[in-house]
Structure 1
Amino acid sequence: MFSLLFPGLALKTTASSVPHDQPPQLGPQHGPSGPDRMNVDESLDALRREIDAIDDTIHDLIMRRTQFVEQVREIKRDLRVKIRPSREAEIVYRLIGRHHGPFPKRELVAMWRQLIVATLSFEGPFSVAVYVPPDGAGYWDLARDHFGIFTPATRHTSVRTVIEAVHRQDATVGVLPLPQHEDRDPWWRHLVTQQPEVPRIIARLPFAGHGTGLGAKVEALAICPVGLTPTGRDRSVFAIDMDNRVSVNQLTQVLRDLDLPVTFATAWREEQGPSAWLQLVEVDGFLDEADDRLAQIAPALGKAVNRIVSLGGYAKPLTREELGNRDDTSGNEPDTTKPDDAQNSVPDTA
């Protein structure tokens, strides 16, 4: 641990530089002395004063930013949910687009996420309900990374109780596993309703690459009863309730003709219930309930479609390439999964 905190000092006391049977030798080899040492100290002091002045400026701007956030809070006073995930993503996209220099982008995003969530906390009540299965706490780490380490959060061993907590307003946001083809009892089926205040998908986690904790092994979706707006780089999710299952190939072709490229699709049917199928579909681009293309899906499929329900969507997470700094010549890239990775792609068969 000492060597991690003081790597320079550890380097000078390795076995190769200092024999075990001799004390460290003092002199020029251990750094400048006399006038040279004074010059180094003066240079360091000057640089530290500059850094302190910059820190003061950053702090002043944070306090000024908070004053404007308070004005936003007054405007949004009557809104039940204050979080605006599309706006939050746009802030991060803009900052990443203008960033340069060696400061790592993942850490930049983490700083701004903390800043955003901190101001949310005084706009109104804000808390997170997180699905934590018995065999791991990866979703908890994802939630803390994205929604802040100081945000009130509760653990749930059932996906259903997460949805209920958000629906009852016991929690502002819920964090649930990313849907998979093999899910036997998928949580998303509980969102296939047009009742008011039902949670909708608002984000995909991680947004800026995986961290180093247990969350590095999983991905998740966040839900909240709030609408989205286009960011220019979105994915949209909806469900099709129909009497008979349609093949993925047919579904993909129909949606492609409507300019809705499919990025993920799966189906579920209750084994002991009616024969109706629920098709979960994710498409590239922004799509909400007011989009005319939703109404065109049923006649294009030519099958008995009972209803089509928009389940929300998300702004695309930052990719590995986007998180690699422009000025980084080391060749190292953050270890993060692209949002359209193979494990969540569209299968070739029904």
Structure 2
Amino acid sequence: MSANTPLDDLRQEIDAIDDAIHDLIIARTKVVERVRKEKQGQKIKIRPARECSIIYRLMERHTGPFPKRELARIWRELIVATLSIEGPFSIGVHISDEYKANEGFNIMQREYCNMIRNQYGSFTPMSRYPTATKLIDAVKGHEVAIGVLAMPKQREQNPWWPLLASDTMGTPRIIGRLPFINVPQNSSINFDALVICPIPSEPTGQDHTFLIIETGKEINPKKISSALRKADIKQVFSAAWQEKGANPRYLYLVEAIGFITKEDSTILLLSEYLDDKKALIRTIGTYGQPLAL
């Protein structure tokens, strides 16, 4: 029998490392089963801030030539696989009409779903909904665990985000932004989307927050920007929408840097600087910033 070559020895070493990795996955899963017992009674198991913190920490400690993008993808698969052990997990998707009008819609649709699977697992059940309203209702009714909707734009006739301007218990909130694992600019996957789920926000340390300002009268966007600056809220995006009728509603969406809650002093200051006692300011969710790899 021929002696092992140096390459054979290296392969045996890799096999031993693979066995050790597999053993650790088995051990990690046993801990997840204990977590499941602690979460008994909770309808929704997902904790986006915790998931972001895991990835952020691993990216910070990583060394060597193994690419961070692939490492993050491996851990996303691991997180989602164990999440499904804790309880049912599925995705609802609404594909924007903007994409449907494109000649290459079938290709775009496939790439859009691939982007979602990069974050939420290769084998997670995924359902498509014809309208944003139906998807939001499905998330609220726990037909699916999370919903994915196109990133809001400044000028839209029927935006979906006003549907989150509610204090009703179970109203979905923004919990993530996709793609989380960013790809190079020349990639064909160039969709921006937000993820919704009816759970409270938790900080990651690298957050953006979405606010909705609701009033009964129109406010000049410059006044809103000025009030945000005075309240020390750094906006990176804004949009507006009007509901016409006998009692019109004017809604202003703001994406701001940082983790902001409705109890924060900045919200009180913003209300003061808007100089509108009837203005209602809601936080409708947060997300941990995507990786820049």
Q: Name the SS for the 2:55 alignment partner.
A: helix
User: What residue is the counterpart of 1:23 in the other structure?
Assistant: none
Report deviation, 1:213: 12
Q: Aligned residue for 1:56?
A: 19
1:112 aligns with 2:85: no
What residue number does 2:222 align with? Answer: 249
Give the CA RMSD over aligned residues: 2.1
Are 2:92 and 1:129 equivalent residues in the alignment? yes
How far apart, in 2, do the equivalents of 1:60 and 1:211 lie?
34
Whether the 8 Å CA contact 1:139–1:215 is kept in 2: the answer is no
- Structure 2: distance between partners of 1:248 and 1:149: 42
CA-to-partner distance for each residue in 1:124-161, whole Å, 9 max, x for gaps?
11111011343441432222111101111101121111
Q: Which residue of 2 aligns with 1:83?
A: 46
Unaligned runs of 5+ in 2: none
- Shift of residue 253, structure 1, vs aligned partner: 2.4
Cα distance between partner residues in 1 of 2:266 and 2:246: 30
| Identical aligned residues as a percent | 41
Cα 1:123–1:255, aligned 2, differ >3 Å: closer, same or farther? Answer: same
Q: Indicate yes or no: 2:230 matched with 1:229.
A: no
CA distances 1:263-314 after superposition (whole Å, capped 9, x unpaired): 1111101355643310001110001233232233222111353421210010
Matched residue pairs, number?
Answer: 282
Q: How does 1:2-151 map to 2 (within 5 A)?
A: 42-133=5-96, 134=100, 135=105, 136-137=108-109, 138-151=111-124
Tell me the residue number matched to 1:299: 272
Q: Distance in 1 between matches of 2:237 and 2:166?
A: 20
Q: Which runs of 5 or more structure 1 residues have no equivalent in the other structure?
A: 1-37, 324-350
Which residues of 2 match residues 194-209 of structure 1 at below 5 A?
A: 194-209=167-182
Give 1:314's aligned residue.
287
Residues 89-124 of structure 1, C-alpha deviation per residue, up to 9 Å, x if partnerless? 000000000111111111111000000000110101
Tell me the secondary structure at the aligned position of residue 216 of structure 1. coil
Instruction: Give the stretch that moved more between structures: 231-240 or 287-296.
Output: 287-296
Asked if 1 retains the 8 angstrom alpha-carbon contact of 2:177 and 2:193, the reply is: yes
- TM-score norm. by structure 2 comes to 0.90
Letter in 2 for 1:62: I
Find the aligned partners of 2:87 and 2:138 in 1 and give their Cα distance: 17
What amino acid is aligned across from residue 78 of structure 1 in structure 2?
A: G
CA distance in 2, matches of 1:83, 1:68: 16
Query: What residue identity is the alignment partner of 2:219?
Result: V
1:172 pairs with 145, 154, 159, which one?
A: 145
Q: 1:206 touches 1:317 (CA, 8 Å); kept in 2?
A: yes
Q: Does 1:163 align with 2:136?
A: yes
Q: Residue in 1 aligned with 2:212?
A: 239
Larger-gyration structure (1/2): 1
Could you tell me the TM-score, scaled by structure 1's length?
0.76
